[in-house]
């Protein structure tokens, strides 16, 4: 007769010794993870997160207005966005974790600490799967945030060189179009050739009228190229200053000295505009870098908060399930 038969035939020996061991062997053969409950909680969390994000997008668009003194400010909009994303993570992750803990199978003959750990793991797994599913649905949005942060960091790292190159390239393309160009920097070229009402009459008419449209366009384009080269060098050479002064003198009737003064003053004003544009570009790049860094930081905090909420809610749901089953057993076998 084997040991199992002996235990079954002797109530005083077999049942107390082998029944717990058989139950323990059965528990070891079953996985500690209830994947059905995990996926159910993750699906609920992903769906609720998507719904809340859509609601938040609608409320955010309703609160923003392009008109002055209407709508919320940029700072208020940023704070409310952070608060809504965090609330979304807590609500959705908490719901998913609670369902994962409440729907899991009951573990028999498992220590209380082990039950607590398994419930926490179920909540964390449901949050992880829900986060991956939400990221897959919103991959374009998350990708734009990450790429925007990388681009902003690169722009901030090379702000001086990139901004100066961009500004100079823009000025070159604008000024090389001549006096008839409507660009902002073309204004400086036009101001050079304005006739002064207090200046004396122009010199005797040359063979070619300097005020003809062809000569005006030619002079403006040439002066524009000279200014572009001078901007890159940081100063206008004396020869170029004298040559541009002559062209201005012929067109406006100013003396050579007054024309050179006008050229120097115009070039100085243009340098100031370019310098301000460079500073504005650097400030914009720095603001974009900071905004991307803050967005990434708060997104990390909200996701971490969601993981904690899911894990905590899973322990609460698992405890309620075990208590409910214990009450049913008590009612059936008082």
pLDDT score for 294: 86
pLDDT score for 206: 43
Taking the C-alpha atoms of residue 89 and residue 83, their distance in angstroms, rounded to an integer, is 10
Entry field: residues in the chain:
334
pLDDT score for 164: 45
pLDDT score for 94: 94
pLDDT score for 308: 95
Q: Judge contact between 23 and 37, C-beta under 8 A.
A: no
Taking the C-alpha atoms of residue 310 and residue 84, their distance in angstroms, rounded to an integer, is 17
Q: What kind and span of H or E run contains 266?
A: helix 256-332
Query: Would you give per-residue pLDDT tens digits along the chain (334 residues)?
Result: 444 443 444 444 444 444 444 444 444 556 788 899 999 999 999 999 888 888 888 887 666 665 656 666 777 777 888 889 899 999 999 999 999 999 988 777 788 888 889 999 999 999 999 998 888 877 655 555 545 544 544 454 444 444 444 544 454 454 444 444 445 567 777 777 777 665 554 444 443 444 555 555 667 778 878 888 888 888 888 888 888 888 888 888 888 888 888 888 888 888 888 888 889 999 988 888 888 888 889 889 999 999 999 999 999 998 888 887 665 545 454 5
pLDDT score for 90: 93
Domain ranges within the chain, ordered by starting residue: 35-157+297-332, 159-195+209-282
* CA-wise closest residue to 307 among 66, 53, 97: 97
Taking the C-alpha atoms of residue 184 and residue 122, their distance in angstroms, rounded to an integer, is 62
- On whether the pTM is more than 0.85, the answer is no
Taking the C-alpha atoms of residue 106 and residue 109, their distance in angstroms, rounded to an integer, is 10
Those residues whose C-beta lies under 8 Å from the C-beta of residue 218, and which sit 6 or more positions away, are none
Structure tokens at 52: 């809340």
């Amino acid at each position: 007769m084997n040991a199992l038969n002996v235990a079954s035939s002797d109530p005083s020996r077999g049942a107390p010794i082998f029944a717990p061991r058989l139950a323990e062997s059965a528990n070891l053969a079953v996985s500690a993870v209830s994947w059905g409950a995990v996926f159910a909680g993750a699906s609920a969390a992903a769906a609720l997160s998507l719904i809340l994000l859509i609601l938040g997008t609608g409320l955010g668009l309703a609160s923003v207005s392009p008109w002055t003194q209407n709508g919320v400010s940029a700072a208020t909009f940023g704070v409310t966005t952070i608060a809504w994303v965090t609330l979304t993570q807590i609500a959705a992750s908490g719901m998913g974790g609670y369902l994962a803990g409440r729907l899991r199978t009951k573990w028999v003959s498992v220590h209380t600490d082990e039950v607590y750990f398994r419930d926490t793991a179920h909540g964390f797994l449901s949050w992880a799967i829900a986060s991956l599913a939400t990221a897959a649905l919103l991959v374009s949005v998350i990708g734009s945030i990450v790429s925007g942060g990388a681009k902003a960091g690169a722009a901030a790292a090379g702000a001086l060189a990139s901004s100066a190159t961009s500004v100079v390239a823009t000025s070159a393309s604008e000024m090389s179009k001549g006096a008839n160009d409507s660009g902002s920097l073309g204004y400086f070229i036009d101001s050079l050739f304005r006739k002064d009402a207090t200046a004396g009459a122009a010199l005797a008419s040359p063979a070619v009228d300097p005020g003809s449209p062809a000569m005006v366009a030619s002079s403006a384009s040439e002066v524009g190229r000279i200014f572009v080269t001078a901007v890159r060098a940081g100063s206008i050479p004396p020869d170029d200053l004298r040559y541009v002064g002559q062209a201005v003198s012929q067109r406006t009737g100013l003396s050579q000295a007054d024309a050179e003064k006008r050229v120097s003053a115009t070039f100085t004003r243009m340098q100031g505009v370019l310098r301000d544009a460079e500073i504005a570009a650097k400030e914009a790049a720095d603001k974009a870098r900071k905004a991307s860094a803050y967005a990434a930081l708060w997104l990390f905090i909200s996701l971490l908060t969601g993981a904690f909420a899911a894990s905590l809610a899973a322990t609460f749901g698992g405890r309620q399930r075990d208590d409910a089953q214990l009450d049913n057993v008590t009612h059936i076998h008082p």
